[in-house]
Structure 1
């Protein structure tokens, strides 16, 4: 997979649960925000002029170490395995103060879709070029 984007965000106090670590559902929010920031960085803010854009059809996460407040995390976004209408993403979560340690890793399959027709469409050539 190709590294396509990196962003940094804070671990918020409210991200933690009663056990004192970041709640497992929040990790998926981190991945979502990283994907959104990547799409924004390449000019893909939601649906395009044809009413087409990304839809996530599955997501997964492997929790390796417990994240805790305070701190900042770095999310490294990778993309690859491009098919006709979809591609895979993988995101590594690292703390900025310990950048050599992967705290969690996950990903999602992105399908390019026509929102009105509710059908998949070919991945745009511009996206293909970024991933290839």
Structure 2
């Protein structure tokens, strides 16, 4: 099973009054990693996969240890835990080496922005997602 690796920079504004990354900021890190992952299929290949939009139906996050400010980026590993006809579940680990700060999952629903409604996952999208499929539950 492949995992998508995203190196996410920490910004000074990400810190809270206690000097560690605020819990809400982790959602932004997950979003950046997920967008980087899902939009890798379309560029350069002429594919329109995932370009029509998607919406988040659910987030689940386990905060395991505080992440304090530093100049090095944090690694966000992303993989697919489940693919259905009209949604997918993405799992993440925000980590540095063996140290895991957050484990999380997101249910994503492909969305047709023009029609204003959810849509099904295309065969091309499913083929791409299956390369990252691992049903192991982390959250």
TM-score range, shorter chain: 0.7 to 0.9
Write out per-residue CA displacement over residues 88-108 of structure 1, whole angstroms, 9 at most, x where no aligned residue.
00111012xxx1121101121
TM-score, length-scaled by structure 1: 0.84
Partner of residue 102 from structure 2, selected from 90, 101, 104: 104
Q: Which residue of 1 aligns with 2:40?
A: 41
Structural RMSD (CA): 1.8
Equivalent in 113, 117, 124 of residue 119 of structure 1: 117
Size of the aligned set, in residue pairs, is 124
Structure 2 gaps, min length 5: 131-139
Runs of 4+ in 1 over 6 A off after TM superposition: none
Structure with the largest fraction of strand: 1
Is the counterpart of residue 64 in structure 1 residue 68 in structure 2? no
Contact (CA 8 Å) 1:4, 1:131: kept in 2 or not? no
Report the Cα distance in structure 1 between the residues aligned to 2:29 and 2:2, rounded to whole angstroms.
17
Which blocks of at least 5 consecutive residues in structure 1 are unaligned?
A: none
Residue equivalent to 2:10:
11
